Structure 1
Amino acid sequence: MAHYTEFGYYRDEYEGSIEKEADFKKCRRIAESYIDQYTLNRITVPEAVPGLKDCACEMTEAVFDVCYRDDGQVKKSETTDGYSVTYVTEVSDGIDRTELLGQKMYRICRRYLLNTGLLSRSLKC
């Protein structure tokens, strides 16, 4: 299977923040599964889809941020002397990490791929 983006592009062009290629690949696999779900597996030539590389990069980074970075927590502030750390809380009452990730992924995918027709729910017969 051809991937929608590669670590070299992510690091050099997109200038992402995931440092290890192994972490990138693990998160990319999850991000690509979301893209395939939202596009109903209609991407046959990834190079021909405008914005797909950046979409995959941003979605990969979102997976990393929600699931792996600081155990899914993003630091809001940190005090060194008394060692106090405050984390950003994105989760509302009743929303778990999986649901939060799904919402983020769809918003990202929609921003990049809405005008391509790939997110249309209509099936051609």
Structure 2
Amino acid sequence: MEINEQKRVNPIKWEPKDFWVQYIGSMTPSAFLKISGVYSPYRAVEKHLRKLSTFYGIVRRNTWKETFSEPLQFNYEEVYWGIIAYLKETENEWKQEWKEFWLAQDDDDPLSINNAPKPSENP
């Protein structure tokens, strides 16, 4: 079974980038954080996930039909932390541009867990 087929049935095979591509798309982290309109990367992810609807905690992919046609559905918290993990992995690629955009010269660690709000249960 090839890796893409394994990912369809095994959540352990999902990497942070898979969550990013599935729930954010091809947008760069820098562009995503800019258009979110909020300073905190954590809040940006939370705001984006609120736009996607949830049904009993399951986050919609492009459509509900697509969501439930897949063997795996992910809940809000799994998607939230998957996207945050991708932002942490790619932090060096977007951090400087983020700091310049928000004029946040003093914030050297935007993804510090101390800056993280608790994701809301019902977005």
Same fold per superposition (TM over 0.5): no
Relative to its length, the structure with more strand (as a share) is 1
The TM-score normalised by the length of structure 2 is 0.30
The TM-score normalised by the length of structure 1 is 0.29
- Report 1 or 2 for greater relative contact order, CA contacts < 8 Å, sequence distance ≥ 6: 2
Q: Which has the larger radius of gyration?
A: 1
